[in-house]
A and B are shown apart, each in its own frame.
Chain A
């Protein structure tokens, strides 16, 4: 049986946070009917051994999806070639941002509790820190930043998120 826990705390407890640097963010905008094709192509990357750090997709309109994929820059050459070929041949718009950084953290029952995403995004706004993309699902929050910004974001978020210490 699932248990949904709903509570509020002034400083939100998390299990820990992680920063990954030197990442490539590829943004693909494509017609809905290309979704299966894109899926097939992703399976081909590094002969089925390709890895990602973050994936986010949004419905733009009745005909279009936008897909953001983050991966390590040392994998960039093979990924970029394949994704560029897809874009060139199949009416897909491709944009690449690099290097970018990723900050992610997890906490108990984030999916059930009000105010968690609000605490993160409101705090960043208050400190004029920009994010390029975010994905909050399950118990995780993923934030993509420009180069050399993830640490600043992490420092600011320590005001509202904390890893409880052992006493």
Chain B
């Protein structure tokens, strides 16, 4: 897949942090379970499900966090401090046992950014509460599914 796009918002800034953690035996590094950061509870639930999945599939986990920056701010100055965002994600992944890599993206458009970050037919776990009204996460799931990704929606415990 071409990483270049004429569209206005794609991968802009990334910073991978490799967590120390246990690798599943006979880890098949080709299989990646992607977890998309939603909120703390949702992501935690998604990471737990992703861990089970990764063990069964002998794959690894990548946590993707896309932060959208409004045009009023320079792209290099996101509204949420990068250091803060990084620490929050590190704390989240430390609760799991499997090795998890984290990727933070800064972008103008979260959905488009995630669409670019994921390779075709990726396995994606997303934690969010189901609502009857349209939500950001609901729309994201629809977009990702229509792009051919396999989505596992996990509901965090109330």
Partners in one complex: no
Q: Which residues of A are at the interface with B, using a C-beta cutoff of 8 A?
A: none
